[in-house]
Amino acid sequence: MTRDRTPSAQTIELLAALLSQRPEWRHGYDLSEQTGLASGTLYPMLMRLSDRGMLESKWEPSPHQGRPPRKLYRLNAAGATFAREHAKPRTGTLRVQPVRS
């Protein structure tokens, strides 16, 4: 049967990255740089999130000759809700983030 796990730290990081620049389209390489996630972790994650209806996606033709085409992703409504849901601190305790100057 299909089990449903609560999002892992990596998933939350990816969702946060996608949420941070919504509604712009992002590609995997871009997201791997922002999050530090390796390709073998990131691409399967993007596919799973897509399969679960969290993301829209489309292909963009190679920007320069000889470069691979990019697959673009973006949170849809369901995905954005899900991301916001899980982006906030786990417990009910409110925490104030000090801002570094």
Q: Is 69 one of the binding residues for DNA (CB under 7 A)? A: yes
Give 55's contacts (C-beta < 8 A, 6+ positions apart): 18, 46, 49, 73, 74, 75, 76, 79
- Which segments of the chain does DSSP mark as H helices, in order? 9-20, 28-35, 39-51, 77-87
Bridge partners for 60 per DSSP: 70
Query: Which residue number, 60 or 85, has a Cβ lying nearer to a second copy?
Result: 60
Q: Is 4 one of the binding residues for DNA (CB under 7 A)? A: yes
Tally of CB atoms within 10 A around 18: 25
Residue window 11-50: x/- pattern of binding to DNA, with contact defined by CB under 7 A? x---------------xxxx-x----xxxxx-xxxxxx--
Q: Is 8 one of the binding residues for a second copy (CB under 8 A)? A: no
5 binds, among a second copy, DNA, none (CB under 5 to 8 A by kind): DNA
55 binds, among DNA, a second copy, none (CB under 5 to 8 A by kind): none
Q: How far is the CB of 4 from DNA (least distance, A)?
A: 5
Which residue type does 62 have?
A: S
39: tokens are 């390709």
Chain residues in the site for a second copy (CB under 8 A): 59, 62, 65-69, 71
